Amino acid sequence: MNITAGTKARKSTPAEPETLDPEELMSRDELEALQLQRLQHTVAYAYERVPMYKQKFDDAGVHPSDLKELADLGKFPYTDKEDLRQNYPFGMFAVPQQEVARIHASSGTTGRATVVGYTKGDLERWETLFARSLRASGVKRGWKVHNAYGYGLFTGGLGAHYGAEKLGCTVIPMSGGQTEKQIQLIQDFEPDAILCTPTYLLTIVDAMEQRGIDPAGTSLKVAVLGAEPWTEEMRHELETKLDIDACDIYGLSEVMGPGVAGECIDYKDGSTIWEDHFRPEIVDPLTNTVLPDGEPGELVFTSLTKEAMPVIRYRTHDLTRLLPGTGRPNMRRIGRITGRSDDMIILRGVNLFPTQIEEIALRIPGLSPHFVLEITRPHRMDELTVKIERREDCSTETAAAAAKDLQKQIKIHVGSSCRIEIAEPGTLARSSGKLRRIYDLRNQGA
């Protein structure tokens, strides 16, 4: 596959070196010295202040004083979402409630919400790192920024809001949903950048086209997109339709929120992890062993500067690889997130992620990026149906041929047999934030 990101003259430029934070310019050795110092502090701090960490470390027979070099981190036990649930709501906090300036929570699909907290200092670091991510992605001080991440307990809205303000932008706090109003404000306020999930930007593009508005004719120059997995093919789709640069931003509430890593506009090769604040590892999700850089596995983070809720070796369940630094040579990048290990479909022994379908479908002319995956069990065997909309300009006959092609390509590249159902344009549910792609109907008598 050879998709070149950005087929047009770029409307923004990379950050000037003099605007970078000093940590972005450190040598790798300096950065690792800083990491070690912060790691030693965080591990001791968590041990002293959070009973769960003391218990876990004691059970594993490790003590903060065992952390003499970065590699010693591997001796410490992992933390998982389940630990947060068991300590619901505030049991993971390392400071008294009076020192917690803000709380966020993510509901997830099952069970109790996971609750996270921030001191004033944590909020300052968060906005600095979000601002750093925006700057890396070509957003400039003085720009108007349309923020369509959801406001509220979700970290996307407020995280993006304060980050953009910190960079010195004019923020339009639109939040998610109300697509008509989004379009109206984009036309009237003429923002330079938009912040939202990739599938919500697709919804906006789609709604513009339906109203006869050319998405390439807006004032937008840059989109900073995250909160869900997306592919190079989706980047190409959005960049071409809107005539913008689209960059990735990554994060998760438990580790901070959006801005744990951000993508450099001049490279567009995966998000740079802000390693002065987070120490990443990749582990084998089955054996729990640490893997060398470059190997695919589960991303694990240890926070280096968090006060209200430090996390030690937090299992993200996100599957990716650690890659060498490019835009910031001292800090490593994450490759595209293939998906979450808990979102993986296992279809008759074959592992499958929605991003694989997105990648294949978007390379077939006539098929749109609007699709869902349904899993059923009609005859005691699991079956996958891909429901995908044809593009407006694709005839029913051409769509039938495209469906055959999609089925064949999925068999070749993923190894699964599936059914394809072509849906009419505009009939599948649209995203207003994180899009749900998988519908598991196996327990519904289907």
The contact set with ligand DLL (CB under 6 A) reads: 106, 149, 154-156, 226-229, 248-253, 257-258, 316, 318, 337, 340
Which residues touch 324 (CB under 8 Å, ≥6 apart)? 293, 332, 333
Contact (Cβ atoms closer than 8 angstroms) between residue 135 and residue 27: no
Smallest separation (angstroms) from ligand DLL to the CB of 74: 22
Amino acid in the structure at residue 101: A
Q: Report the residue number, 249 or 282, with the smaller CB distance to ligand DLL.
A: 249
Q: Report the residue number, 155 or 218, with the smaller CB distance to ligand DLL.
A: 155
Q: Report the residue number, 255 or 372, with the smaller CB distance to ligand DLL.
A: 255
Amino acid in the structure at residue 168: G
Short-list 229, 217, 268, CA closest to 246? 268
Smallest separation (angstroms) from ligand DLL to the CB of 422: 27
Q: Report the residue number, 64 or 191, with the smaller CB distance to ligand DLL.
A: 191
CA dist 351 and 334 (Å) reads 21
Q: Report the residue number, 345 or 406, with the smaller CB distance to ligand DLL.
A: 345
Q: Report the residue number, 109 or 396, with the smaller CB distance to ligand DLL.
A: 109
φ, ψ of residue 253 to 5 degrees: the values are -55, -45
417 CB neighbour count, 10 Å cutoff: 13
334 CB neighbour count, 10 Å cutoff: 22
CA dist 117 and 95 (Å) reads 9
Smallest separation (angstroms) from ligand DLL to the CB of 437: 12
Smallest separation (angstroms) from ligand DLL to the CB of 344: 12
Smallest separation (angstroms) from ligand DLL to the CB of 425: 26
Q: Report the residue number, 196 or 403, with the smaller CB distance to ligand DLL.
A: 196
Contact (Cβ atoms closer than 8 angstroms) between residue 44 and residue 254: no
Describe the chain by its helix, strand, coil percentages, rounded to 5.
35, 25, 45
Residue nearest to ligand DLL (CB): 226
Smallest separation (angstroms) from ligand DLL to the CB of 243: 22
Q: Report the residue number, 26 or 225, with the smaller CB distance to ligand DLL.
A: 225
Q: Report the residue number, 290 or 344, with the smaller CB distance to ligand DLL.
A: 344
Helix crossing, 198-210 with 179-189: angle to 10°? 80
Q: Report the residue number, 100 or 256, with the smaller CB distance to ligand DLL.
A: 256
- With tokens 């490790």, the residue in question is 62
CA dist 244 and 8 (Å) reads 8
Smallest separation (angstroms) from ligand DLL to the CB of 342: 9
* Angle 67-70-72 from CA coordinates, rounded to 5°: 45
Smallest separation (angstroms) from ligand DLL to the CB of 257: 5
Short-list 319, 340, 354, CA closest to 439? 354
From residue 413, alpha-carbon distances to 40, 294, 346, 410 in Å are 45, 21, 15, 5
Smallest separation (angstroms) from ligand DLL to the CB of 122: 15
Contact (Cβ atoms closer than 8 angstroms) between residue 273 and residue 305: no
SS3 160: helix
Smallest separation (angstroms) from ligand DLL to the CB of 347: 21
